[in-house]
Amino acid sequence: MPVPVRLVTSVDLDKTAGPKFDTDDQMAVSALLELELDDGRRVVLLDDRGWSSHGRGVWAHTSLADLTDTARMVVGPDEPPDGVSYEEEAALHWGELASRARSSGVDLDGSDLIALPHDVDISTEVRARVTRGRR
């Protein structure tokens, strides 16, 4: 049985946002959360996350550290709705992600996911935009 090794959030330009979001003043990025296994396979846990930002020279004011922090935030857990504690919301979030992993043949629970290292992989294209924005 495959053993979970880490969580990986991949950050890339959001190509579905269109070219107007890849300018010096517009940014749209996607965030894909995967569970990496010891055999090298990855199981997609979330593929519907990302964020956008706009403002004069937005790329020039964005760092790789900012992107890393935001990527970890947008893959959750989300802020809880009224009447739900952060702990309850987090347990629901990690439980749902564990359920997705189990449906792909990986036996774990939410607490197993929380304990894994969580790396962020920023694409070459996004790194180039950050670098170009600083010139």
Give how many domains the chain has, as a whole number: 1
Other CB atoms within a 10 A radius of the CB of residue 54 amount to: 12
In sequence order, the β-bridge partners of residue 29 are: 13, 51
The terminus-to-terminus CA distance of the chain in angstroms comes to: 49
Q: 88 lies in a domain?
A: no
The DSSP secondary structure of 104-123, one letter per residue, reads TT----HHHHHHS-EEEEE-
Give the burial string for 112-133 (b: 16+ CB within 10 Å, else e). ebbeeeeebebeeebeebbeeb
Cα separation, 96 vs 78, in Å, equals 13
pLDDT at 24: 83
Any domain includes 36 = yes
Cα(8)–Cα(86) distance, rounded to whole angstroms?
23
Domain contains 90 = no
Q: Report residues of the chain scoring pLDDT below 50.
A: none
Is residue 103, in this structure, part of any structural domain at all? no
In a domain, 72, yes or no: yes
| 21 inside domain | yes
Position 107 scores a pLDDT of 93
Range of the domain at 67: 4-77+117-133
Q: What is the pLDDT of residue 134?
A: 59
